[in-house]
Chains A and B, each alone.
Chain A
Amino acid sequence: MGNLDTSNIDFGAMPTADGHFGPYGGIFVAETLMEPLDELRAAYEEMKNDPAFQAEFDRDLAHYVGRPSPLYHAERWSRELGGAQIYLKREDLNHTGAHKINNTIGQALLARRMGKTRIIAETGAGQHGVASATVAARLGLECVVYMGAVDVERQKLNVFRMNLLGAKVVPVTSGSKTLKDALNEAMRDWVTNVDNTFYIIGTVAGPHPYPAMVRDFQAVIGREARAQCLEQTGRLPDALVACVGGGSNAIGLFHPFLADKDVAIYGVEAAGNGLETGMHAAPLCAGKPGVLHGNRTYLMESPDGQIIETHSISAGLDYPGVGPEHAWLKDIGRANYVAVTDDEAMVAFDSLTRTEGILPALESSHALAYAMKLAPTMAKDKILIVNLSGRGDKDIHTVATIKGIEI
């Protein structure tokens, strides 16, 4: 793996018409959802080529989300690390505090155009749930968010935010009571209420067309970063780093750079207590291919094919699968996938906060932690872009608990 020549691949043409990225992706759902997915695919293809839809999406990104988000040269942090110049793509400055809103704006506009009156979503850390509740409030749509009971407990602040926005948060008590179970429950709701309901999946996973559609909505991150880097430095970056749970912020940054073969790409998974302990959430680094939640991809699974529980300090990375495009990029060697531990992420959280005055989300802290390893190995005239996918305010209780402080 990693030795294939990728220079002839037309990355923009992926996935195939039936949703495959090499052996990954596809449509693996029960029959009842095949027709609704077909309708969604048709609607999305139409909107994708509709200038009016794209203009509405762009206008909302500009005036509601606050885009473009800055590409910020973290000079002090770069100096401290003593290597490459680090630029942070400030998705933390978006409305609702993370990249998730880019996708929910797009899918909610699509839901409205399809005449759906009710939206449902799954959420782990709660960021996607908040972003879904936000757009639902704005468009006057009913919103139900499924959230694992464990996550409801560890992300109380976001649960309250969703309630304030008028969404109903349903705690999911089946299985491991985390993100994967919330996704199962959202799928069950969708299959039952498919006539009036649009399911806003929060990441680049699920059955086709979700991985492609969510990527396309998130690719604004990479398009902006590419243009901003050229404008600020006169050239393309040498490397990109982003955290990977399901992988939507990462694919959003990576995708517009895939054809730039000199740009190295690093996706950072959650190593939890360490890959060797088995207590992690790193399917690309330590899992194997299988089928879950509508697509074929790398999974954390037992030798019998049961999905196993994951561990990460970050609820947003605590997921046993990963978007199929990442699985494919790993196999063809276009992107490198690495993992950092809970402890390393915490060190990065403190480091960025103290040197730049920016509190990163624990998810994004995984990308920062890898940047702390990578930057010192690069010359000072090299450029490294890190996707700062979300802000850390939602995590302060978790951080305080880890530090043994009661607030």
Chain B
Amino acid sequence: MSRIAARFAELRAAGRKALIPYVTAGDPNPSVTVPLMHALVGAGADIIELGVPFSDPMADGEVIQKAHERALVHNVSLRNVLGMVAEFRQTDANTPVVLMGYLNPVEIMGYAEFARAAQAAGVDGALTVDMPPEESHDLIVALREHAIDPIFLLAPTSHQARIRKITGAASGFVYYVSLKGVTGAASLDVSAVAAKLAEIRAETDIPIGVGFGISDAASAAAIAKISDAVVVGSALVRRIGEHAATPEKVAPTLAGLLREMRQAMDAA
């Protein structure tokens, strides 16, 4: 069983929902990231989603765009990100790590080499935002050869046939984008999300994570009630941005917010 599947099985047995924080690797500088990952685990993260910096993050809102820009000031490459995961793995063998990014850096490295290096580093899943399953055949083959779960997005615009196609190609979990828009958008309609999740559940048993628009303990708890996992990104990354000049405050600040979310989710 993959680390991701094992984690969801444990949570299910305990009647808990997964909390998945997203941070961009190398933001605000490369030395922050690995200690931050450990701090997030300490604050209740079940899976870490680690963003791979890209010059043109088309699906991200301003908050995460700026995070990519801050990381790229330090020329943080996909290889560097894999190095961070390997370092994280030295002291944490259990927390799954999912890479989230755009296709081009993976394309340039080569699918087979990426999958090999990612497995060696201890990566468990890979989500390439701008690569729908239609274009993913070769990458999925490479990832599966190296026991890495291909993670795909589902959206409010995904109709039944696509839901079936995507859940058929995915493993680990699927990531439901809760609204039409980019990361960090404001409004979240919980009942609309619940209706769509019911549609997705009719097609698959794979765990469903929900992201986009979850900004505080209350929204995390509301989404935890209806999903298998809560993904929180921009709310964390915004605070990294606020502490870009005082990086020593990043880990404690984010851990504090995550702890509030964890408590609210577990109490719900």
Contact = CB atoms under 8 A, between A and B. Distances in A.
Whether A and B are associated in the same complex: the answer reads: yes
Interface of A: 18, 26-36, 174-175, 180-181, 184, 187-188, 191-195, 289-294, 296, 299, 301, 303-308
Contacts of A28: 103, 130-132, 135
Contact of B107 (A18, A187, A291, A294): A291
Contacts, number: 126
Nearest to A296: B107
A31 B177 contact: yes
Contact of B55 (A26, A36, A192, A307): A307
A5 B162 CA distance: 39
A184 B177 contact: no
A194 B182 CA distance: 12
Interface of B: 53-59, 61-62, 65, 69, 72, 75, 77-79, 102-109, 129-132, 134-135, 152-159, 162, 166, 177, 180-182, 185
A18 B103 CA distance: 18
A294 B157 contact: no
B158 A303 contact: no
Contact of B185 (A192, A289, A304): A192
A227 to B, nearest CB: 38
B55 A306 contact: yes
B108 A304 contact: yes
Interface centre among B53, B72, B108 (most CB of A within 10 A): B108
A306 B105 contact: yes
A307 B104 contact: yes
A192 B185 CA distance: 9
Given A31-B177, A291-B130, A305 B105 contact: yes
A290 B108 contact: yes
Contacts of A175: 55-56, 69
B151 to A, nearest CB: 11
Is the contact region of chain A dominated by helix, strand, or loop, or is it mixed?
mixed
A192 B181 contact: yes
A174 B54 CA distance: 13
B130 A35 contact: no
Contact of A187 (B53, B55, B58, B106): B58
Nearest to A288: B108
The 8 closest A-B pairs by CB, nearest first: A305-B108, A305-B105, A32-B155, A31-B153, A35-B157, A304-B77, A192-B181, A30-B59
Given A18-B134, A188-B182, A191-B182, A32 B156 contact: yes
B59 A191 contact: yes
Given A28-B131, A31-B166, A306 B54 contact: yes
B185 A29 contact: no
Given A35-B157, A192-B185, A29 B130 contact: yes
A25 to B, nearest CB: 10
B104 A291 contact: yes
A294 B75 CA distance: 24
Contacts of B54: 305-306
Contact of A192 (B58, B155, B180): B180
B181 A304 contact: no
Given A290-B107, A292-B104, A305-B105, A31 B152 contact: yes
Contacts of B134: 18, 26-27, 34
Contacts of A294: 130
A60 B56 CA distance: 36
Contact of B132 (A34, A184, A191, A293): A34
Contacts of A296: 107
A165 to B, nearest CB: 27
Contacts of A34: 132, 134, 155, 157-158, 162
B158 A35 contact: yes
A31 B78 contact: no
Contacts of B56: 175, 180-181, 184, 292-293, 307
A308 B72 CA distance: 12
Contact of A31 (B109, B154, B185): B154
9 contacts: A28-B132, A31-B132, A34-B158, A290-B104, A290-B107, A292-B56, A293-B58, A305-B106, A306-B55
A289 B65 CA distance: 24
A36 B132 CA distance: 14
A18 B181 CA distance: 25
B159 to A, nearest CB: 6
A192 B182 contact: yes
Contacts of A180: 56
B107 A305 contact: yes
Nearest to B177: A32
Contacts of B106: 305
Contacts of A184: 56-58
Contacts of B72: 306
Given A30-B58, A32-B180, A291 B157 contact: no
A24 to B, nearest CB: 12
Interface centre among B57, B106, B158, B181 (most CB of A within 10 A): B181
A18 B132 CA distance: 12
Contacts of A192: 180-182, 185
A303 B109 CA distance: 9
Given A290-B104, A291-B103, A304-B78, A32 B58 contact: no
Given A187-B59, A296-B107, A305-B78, 4 more contacts: A28-B135, A31-B157, A289-B107, A307-B104
Nearest to B53: A306
A388 B180 CA distance: 41
A191 B153 contact: no
A30 B77 contact: no
A26 B135 CA distance: 7
